[in-house]
Amino acid sequence: MSRANSRVDAVVIGGGVIGSSAAWRLAARGRSVVLLEQFEQGHRRGASHGSSRIYRQAYDGEFYTAFAASALPLWRQLQDATGHELLTLTGAVDHGSPATVLSRARVLDALRIDAEVLEPAAAEKRWPGIRFDTTVVHHPGAGRLHADRAVVALHRAAALEGADVRFCATVRELRRVAGCVEVITDSDVVRTGHVVIAAGAWSSRLLSEGGIAPVPDLPRLRTTQEQPAHFAPLAPDDWPSFVHHPGAGLVTEGIYGLGSDDGIKIGEHGTGPEVDPRTRTFAPDPDGVRRLVEYAETWLPGVDPGTVVADTCLYTTTPDSNFVIDRIGDVTVAAGFSGHGFKFAPAVGELVTGLVDGTAVSPDVFRVGARVGVVAR
């Protein structure tokens, strides 16, 4: 499409997993789309990089469990459309506090998602690399996604559907003129009828008072630098994704983990310091790394704790850990994914597309302003 005076149906700001999913689904529905990413393809400054993310369906409530399940056929569709291997169904296990684990088992059963409750000894016989705590639920229709490949595949899928995917394109201003929005970058002006803001840790600045698209009553979006780490496995077992919930044998923060191309990845959920994404140092937190090594020594007999390799990533979190996915006039916001949004990305893209088209209404729990009902965990 011409960059001169043509008008497109939607401009998506943010080329991470959420914005790219929105661009793909909008383009697949026949909409003309420009996707603007401020950095180069494959950058590591946001929340979508790396070799792995958990795909799971076990949540404490039917809403998120059903939403995660709705993303699975779209992940498979993305693989088929692009030829990228993205999703590996290793199964996933939750263990720890019996009340927490069994509530997830009940939700999976209510939604007729295959799952089984195991005693720790039976789970350890099946997955000897993990020491299990009190009560275990296993659901086989879960596993892991390759994050870097998924984002590239989304860029490719969007482009195959006709989207114009642009990198190193920083948005400086939105200007409303003559019934449309002009999206002004460093090098271009794109005219559109609708703007989708899915800029991860940069969404706060874009949407706050004084930003390019201020949204009243937006929940506070807090950006933190989190501290995952990878460990070398002692044997090439097929590791499940896992979540260890506190409250039984684990008295500190909960831990998530999964296999990856870089080893066995583990991390605490949402314990990092608040940072500005423009100025963070990327330096690992020694105390956080120490806690992960201690966890591996106690709970992961299948890894070598001495091989720890620390990384950092960003969370952008709402006060209740529910996402913000809502339309306000000619702007749709998709932000605040609170460290658990990656698995949902293509389903988020579908919802965003419906909001842009006017064929969908945001669930109460995702709306800007007062939240209703669900606490995400």
pLDDT at 339 over 80: yes
**Same domain flag for 101 and 174:** no
Alpha-carbon distance of 275 to 19, in angstroms, equals 22
Tell me the pLDDT tens digit for each residue of 302-334: 999 999 999 999 999 999 999 999 999 999 999
Same domain, 170 and 304: no
Query: CATH number, domain at 28?
Result: 3.50.50.60
Domain presence at residue 205: yes
Domain membership of residue 360 (yes or no) is yes
Bridge partners of 224, per DSSP, are 274, 315
Q: Could you tell me the two tokens for 314?
A: 């960003």
- Rounded to 10 degrees, the C-alpha dihedral 275/345/164/4 comes to -60
Considering its fold, how many domains does the chain have in total?
2
Element (H, E) at 156: helix 147-160
Regarding whether 238 and 261 lie in a shared domain, the answer is yes
User: Do 176 and 301 lie in a common domain?
Assistant: no
Shared-domain flag, residues 230 and 302: yes
pTM, to two decimals: 0.96
pLDDT digits (tens, 9 = 90+) for 243-282: 999 999 998 889 999 999 999 999 999 999 999 999 999 9
Does a structural domain hold residue 343? yes
What confidence score (pLDDT) does residue 2 get?
39
- Co-location of 97 and 239 in the same domain: yes
Q: Are residues 157 and 302 in the same domain?
A: no
The predicted pLDDT at position 241 comes to: 98
Residues 229 and 300 both lie in one domain: yes
Q: What is the mean pLDDT of residues 146-170?
A: 98
Query: Does 96 lie in the same domain as 159?
Result: no
Per the CB < 8 A criterion, the answer to whether 36 and 169 are in contact is yes
Contacts of residue 126, defined as CB under 8 A and 6 or more positions apart, other chains included, come to 118
What pLDDT score was predicted for residue 1?
A: 39
Q: How far apart are CA 325 and CA 327, in angstroms?
A: 7
> Does residue 282 lie in a domain region?
yes
Same domain (yes/no): 129, 159: no
313 shares its domain with 323: no
**Are 114 and 140 in contact, with CB atoms under 8 Å apart?**
yes
Counting residues of the chain whose pLDDT is more than 90, the rounded percentage is 92
Q: Is residue 74 part of a domain?
A: no
Q: Is 183 exposed, middle or buried (0-12, 13-18, 19+ CB in 10 A)?
A: buried
- Is the domain of 345 the same as that of 240? no
Concatenated DSSP letters for 210-248? TSSS--TTPPP-EEEEE--EEEEESS---PPEEEEESSS
Q: Kindly list the strands in the beta sheet with 164-166, ordered across the sheet, starting from the edge strand earlier in the chain.
A: 164-166, 33-36, 10-13, 195-197, 331-335, 324-328
CATH number at residue 300: 3.30.9.10
pLDDT at 189 over 70: yes
The arithmetic mean of pLDDT across residues 223-245, rounded, is 94
For 23, 261, 327, 330, the CA distances from 359, given in Å and listed in that order, are 17, 40, 12, 14
Give the percent of the chain with pLDDT over 70: 97
Express each pLDDT in 97-145 by its tens digit: 999 999 999 999 999 999 999 999 999 999 999 999 999 999 999 999 9
Confidence of residue 238 (pLDDT cuts 50, 70, 90): confident
The residue segments making up the domain with residue 272 are 92-140+222-317
CA-to-CA separations, 125 to 77, 128, 245, 316, 340, in angstroms, rounded: 34, 6, 20, 38, 29
Q: Three-state SS for 54? A: strand
